[in-house]
Structure 1
Amino acid sequence: MTVALFTLGGTIAMAGHSAGAGGGPVVTRLTGAELTAAVPGLADLGVALDVRDAHAVPSADLSFRHLLDLVDAASRAVADGARGVVVTQGSDTLEETAFLVDLVWPHPEPFVLTGAMRNPTLAGPDGPANLLAAARVAASPAARELGALVVLNDEIHSARWVRKTHSTSTATFASPNLGPLGQVIEGRVRILARPERREPPLARPAAARLDAIRVALHTVTLDDDGADLGRLADTHHGLVVAGFGVGHVPSALAPVLGALAERIPVVLTSRSGSGSVLRHTYGAIGSETDLQRRGLLNGGLLDPYKARVLLRLLLAAGADREAVTAAFARHA
């Protein structure tokens, strides 16, 4: 039995310096073999690592297609007997890539994503510990049936709930609405909560269709009149709105969003970082009740970034408005 390890670059692999004064900024240099060689304890895992270098790019350069291709490769590894999958990548988009994987991952074997906040040239790099913890989770029978997981700082988070909450802290990944599912304690994987998975997984859309689908994200701000949104339905197939608090927007913006919702799916989320969009508490123009009456879909507990991932996948797979509405009712 093996654990398949796919490396995608990011801070965890940035060991070299570019040319320049003082050595310049760090750049990606480490291969998967070099990464694993720097991790004490991997040899005692009890399961061999099948190391595969994939896209050595910053996570900001990853695309939906990259991640779906990776899911295909990971599925083949599982079919060949892998007990689980580990992916190392940059932390910047980790919450989005993990959710994308979770939406389409069809296997009981765990798909574990990890990274680092301190690169290997710094004192106290966290990459080796995170990689070891992720491998332990991927190899653990306790992590089966949990879908995609994010493991950093010895905490195990569900892809559905995890968020990056700080730009530099090694404790940046948290799940504000739920908390971690478990921890790695003295090398032992402890799963403390098992949330229900939303089945079945979404179908992978055709690559050409995926590339053609554009979904915008608009964060509502003070005195926002939506003047830049008027023609958005001519260029995009969907829109996610990150509203104030429980799902509110300025009254001047409400008719603009309502007109868009007549043409494309518009999903209402909260920009707050945790908590849910409400459904029927407030009734003023621009409130959640008013916006739903105008045709906006309630994003519930989904944050804006994950809502955009879900909406783009659905539209790329050919989902009509009824199917999109049903999917958000399940996932929100």
Structure 2
Amino acid sequence: MPIARIPRRVTVFALGGTIAMSGDQTRGVTPSLSAEQLLAAVPGLADSAITLEVVDFRQLPGASLTIPDITALAAAIGDQPADIDGTVVTQGTDTIEETAYLLDLLHPGPAPIVVTGAMRNPTLAGADGPANLLAAIRTAADPQARGHGCLVVFNDEIHAARRVRKTHTTSTATFRSLTGGPLGYLVEHTPRFLGTPLQRHTVPTGPGRNPRVALVPVVLGDDGAVLEAVADRVDGIVLAAMGAGHVPAVLVPALAALAARVPVVLASRVGAGPVLESTYGFPGSERDLLARGLVGAGDLHPFKARLLLHTVLAAGGDRSTVRRAFAVAGGYAPSHTWPWPIAEL
């Protein structure tokens, strides 16, 4: 006798983006398709035996989404019935690497959130949206995905929100995890995870605060003009430094003074590998900057570090909380020292 499949329930939240765009070459494409229209274009979805709920949450290009948008989305996902097995979010790819990590930080429950989108809009030959959406739904419904927090599913690869990056402006294989690789793949429409879930760390939603956190890159010959321009207008700064956490020596006095007033997080602009702690000792080295009060980001990319700093400050975290959170998220300290309760697995 055939084995009866347990019915699974997934909610799809549509936010717009390339996957939902229509138009023509004369005027360009814009987001206009509803969640129902996206699902209607997915071959094989009816054979999945997955019950779907749909929510048209936003209708925006990915570049126009905001932190309050994603905070509201996290709240809406958290308010779903307990029997929802997973959630899929469709959106523009411009900001997936950021929105997915923010959702990961704000979602404490075990049911997975899976973010996906498309690089080729529905008017083009070989549009990838339907395949990505089907893969995301199947992953969100799979019991193996529980405890993984927020995932990005694209091109039949499953990535952790904490690691994933958009690496190409047009390729359908744009999403990569340069540190650690994918968590898994879809094979014959079935998710296959390669290991146990990453340890998850979440931050409680703050009481309506929306701190301003700047991301400042450091470049060859940098004289500090950009840093000076934003210094008095922010609640915190993430510095995208050179190499393993280095800046020109001329920036050191300004950074030390700034770190005495607001949290300044030291990340690397390289995109893979950690900020070091004690290898180099020259003025402007990681050792010098950390001794002057900057907070190391470890292996968090600057984009992710900015979101972590924002959520910690929004939750009312002080300097000690910021340091503890980055010590764990950056890989410097064990998980049990995270400032808040560990998320469910």
User: TM-score, normalised on structure 2?
Assistant: 0.91
Instruction: Indicate if the aligned counterparts of 1:198 and 1:331 stay in contact, CA closer than 8 A.
Output: no
Aligned Cα RMSD in Å? 1.1
What's the CA shift for 1:68?
Answer: 1.3
Instruction: Indicate if the aligned counterparts of 2:11 and 2:55 stay in contact, CA closer than 8 A.
Output: yes
Whichever residue aligns with residue 118 of structure 2, its letter is: A
Matches of 1:141 and 1:112, distance apart in 2:
13
Indicate whether 1:49 and 2:52 are aligned: yes
Which secondary structure does the structure 2 equivalent of 1:92 belong to? helix
Matches of 1:198 and 1:23, distance apart in 2:
46
Provide runs of 4+ in structure 1 moved above 4 Å. Answer: none
Matches of 1:94 and 1:269, distance apart in 2:
20
**Aligned 1:131-280 pairs, distance under 5 A:** 131-199=133-201, 201-207=202-208, 209-210=209-210, 213-230=211-228, 232-280=230-278
Whichever residue aligns with residue 323 of structure 1, its letter is: T
What's the CA shift for 1:163?
Answer: 0.4
Quote the residue 2:4 is aligned against. none
**Per-residue CA shift, 1:288-321, capped at 9, x if unaligned?**
0011011110000000000000001111111110
Deviates more, 1:56-65 or 1:131-140: 56-65
What's the CA shift for 1:231?
Answer: 5.7
Quote the residue 1:5 is aligned against. 12
5+ residue gaps in structure 1? none
Whichever residue aligns with residue 89 of structure 2, its letter is: V
What's the CA shift for 1:111?
Answer: 0.4
5+ residue gaps in structure 2? 1-7, 331-345
User: TM-score, normalised on structure 1?
Assistant: 0.95
What's the CA shift for 1:78?
Answer: 4.2
Quote the residue 2:122 is aligned against. 120
Quote the residue 1:86 is aligned against. 88
Deviates more, 1:43-52 or 1:86-95: 43-52
Instruction: Indicate if the aligned counterparts of 1:78 and 1:109 stay in contact, CA closer than 8 A.
Output: no
Indicate whether 1:330 and 2:328 are aligned: yes
Which secondary structure does the structure 2 equivalent of 1:319 belong to? coil
